[in-house]
Structure 1
């Protein structure tokens, strides 16, 4: 029997929206997912699938049925000969990292949050950093999709290949990803380093840092000339005990930062001083461990986030304009701005489609006004051909998205083929991607 839950209100992690689903369903097998799809189609209900609820946009908002794949989780098969792993769609990234680590393997790259489900991370184009690597979706070699007909189709470059590049970043609008095969690597030991440098030094060394580090990112602190650089590279050093490292992350990057954030919320004029203090507090550190232990950090402090992907060659100009705009407009913001790099890919709705990319993430503490700050940062991102992260806040309309994504019309053609009656639809997606009226669809 399929587990169901009746809830009055469902909220995402960041509390940027609330939903009132008729019910939440927890299938524990692929057959149960198929049964839910068939029943929803029969009753003319729509379905949205939720992972960890870490998207800031209304991708899963619904008044009909919400599906969680939490019970459809775990590794089905580890293929050491081909260095691949097949996992169910609800598997959380931290769970996958731990299980792979025990067997001596890892994903080639991860983001800085690892609570998402693998299906959710794929569907929204979640990414890490490192110009040798694409987003997490590019690690997929095969996926199993339950379509609106209630059937399971296998999609890869060899089977149903016409759907492959559309299915890997699909916003959950083509069907339900119930299982995926990922390419993996032998788990190396990484040396993680963090240090602060002057912004002038970054200007001179940015290309070198991007090209010579396996994983590289940096944080720009508003109103400060100091930035934090983080790198991860393979080392022959032995892995260390991370207890002190994790305690430091919890105490400094979460609990202390929460207190400082509350001060900024109550007294917004302190934001400039808090940002500068945070920059000065960055210390030099180095630690060696396995990748799944280092990529992600716990996030307790809640915030609003907007993230844009721009062509890598525009990064230096964008940095300068962002800094100048913050100083000129005197925004009350203390959260650092995060910069990462991602390799170009050929996935139709990937923000990195056909271009090596810099991802720039803007944050504002929950409870503090963010609209003007995000609006002006978005204008800068638009100037530099910015594509929004699908899971982060933005204001791009359908017409603009069609200009930014040359394969969006082709994607919608496939969506109409696989889900002709809009079973995997909600109002947000209808408005975001725009259904062509001639298609006579119930919804997107």
Structure 2
């Protein structure tokens, strides 16, 4: 069958030649083989939260929602079907007495889609979600199924953990998990100057910490999370006491990780996010703030989000080889965003930023290649696993193939 596809923010819409909801791995292999024989592209799709055109195709759009649920767990590892939504995964792991190490800001993404695009949370000790993958099953462009992990094809793991769906269709993932635990989440408002003055302390003495900056008021909302059985140095109580701030600004929540970390998002928005070398953050943020206040404040209706990610060794990870801080600019879907985002992208690039794969950006392979030391290795592997370009849609070719 076929039907139009519209993503979460409604900024991307297209009608593939065929839309398929695969029920099992055998059906995935058959679809890939058929696409190869007929010269069509096939693109896997998760929840459609991404605002970049990674899934757009005039061929086969493959939905894995029917391949969902936790398959097995043994205390240290848990295996789930690739189409499992993060919310359902959190509940399934919790029922088994387990939890993921960290999560992102929303929970309606599929686990395969979230890891394939570099979804991340925050915390100086935590990498993006893909770093929690220790194994995968992959249907390659030739229809072959590969087990990839510590014991099978371990040399492929740094590439396949985050691959934009360019190496094949992931059907199962195996996660490094831990016994379930609860987090205490706190939030309070403070002037931007105070937040920046205390930023390093807040980041390094709390399990998770991020902040929103609101350009219209020049205020921030600071958010910290720590295990309920441990305490961080969030300074919320100190700040409220010293400033006699309105206690109604206080927000404290205690619960399991899959409830306390993700937030619901009723309003739709567009977003650009870049990952920066941690040492470049201060100068970059100062320029971002200057440009927003001088050029864009009139139209900026949403906030700017700042988070941290630990370095990793994943070839296409935005945090490859360096401690990372991120700056994300959000804008309501009903407000203009392109001029604003393009101006921010120019700043991010000036400071060595790498774009979030699943969000708005305008870079092509020519600009992306110098940002990733293992770029050429990834391209060689992609051509080996998908020699006929079954997964290489025109949009993906723009990202990965230099003209």
Same fold (TM > 0.5)? yes
Equivalent position to 1:50, from 40, 45, 50: 45
Give the alignment partner of residue 34 of structure 1, picking from 29, 45, 53. 29
Superimposed CA distance per residue, residues 37-95 of structure 1 (whole angstroms, 9 cap, x where no aligned partner)? 11222222210000000110110001111000000111110111xx1100011011000
Change (3 A) 1:222 1:159: same
Contact 1:86 1:181 in 2 (8 A): yes
**What is the CA-CA distance between 1:158 and the residue it aligns to?**
3.1
User: 8 Å contact 1:125–1:350 — kept in the other structure?
Assistant: yes
2:29–2:143 contact (8 Å) kept in structure 1: yes
**CA–CA distance in structure 1, aligned partners of residues 144 and 261 of structure 2:** 36
Between the aligned partners of 1:14 and 1:407, the Cα distance in structure 2 is 32
Q: Distance in 1 between matches of 2:302 and 2:130?
A: 28
C-alpha RMSD of the superposition: 1.5
- In structure 2, the CA distance between the partners of 1:220 and 1:24, relative to structure 1 (3 Å rule), is same
Whole-Å Cα distance in 2 between the matches of residues 329 and 381 of structure 1?
Answer: 16
Matched, 1:69 2:48: no
C-alpha contact 1:196 1:282 (8 A) present in aligned 2: no
Query: Could you tell me how far 1:367 is from its partner in structure 2?
Result: 2.2
Instruction: State the match for 2:345 in structure 1.
Output: 378
Alignment partner, residue 252 of structure 2: 286
SS across alignment from 1:108: coil
Given that 1:342 and 1:358 are in contact with CA atoms closer than 8 Å, whether structure 2 keeps it comes out as: yes
SS, match of residue 134 in structure 1: coil
TM-score with structure 2 setting the length = 0.93
Q: SS in structure 2 opposite 1:292?
A: helix
User: Are residues 1:6 and 2:2 paired?
Assistant: yes
Shift of 1:435: 5.4
5+ residue gaps, structure 1, are 238-279, 437-444
Report the 3-state secondary structure (helix = DSSP H, G, I; strand = E; otherwise coil) of the residue aligned with 1:122.
Answer: helix
CA contact (8 A) 1:13 1:54 kept: yes
Mapped pair 1:297 → 2:263: yes
> What SS does the corresponding residue of 1:403 show, helix, strand or coil?
helix
3-state SS, counterpart of residue 249 of structure 2: coil
SS at match of 1:355: coil
Residue correspondence of structure 1 range 376-415 to structure 2 within 5 A? 376-415=343-382
Query: Which secondary structure state, in structure 1, belongs to the residue aligned with residue 276 of structure 2?
Result: strand
- Distance in 1 of aligned mates of 2:379 and 2:9: 29
1:17 — aligned with what?
12
Map 1:313-392 onto structure 2 (within 5 A): 313-331=279-297, 332-392=299-359
Q: 1:309 to 1:282 in 2, by over 3 A?
A: farther
Deviations 1:328-375 (A, max 9, x none): 114311201011101000000000000010111111111211111111
- Work out which of the residue numbers 307, 324, 327 in structure 1 matches 2:273: 307
Aligned partner of 1:59 in structure 2 is 54
Q: Kindly report structure 1 stretches of 4+ aligned residues shifted beyond 4 Å.
A: none
CA distance in 1, matches of 2:322, 2:343: 24
CA shift in 2, pair 1:215/1:327, >3 Å: same
Query: Equivalent residues in 2 for 1:151-170 (5 A)?
Result: 151-170=144-163
Q: What is the TM-score with the length of structure 1 in the denominator?
A: 0.85
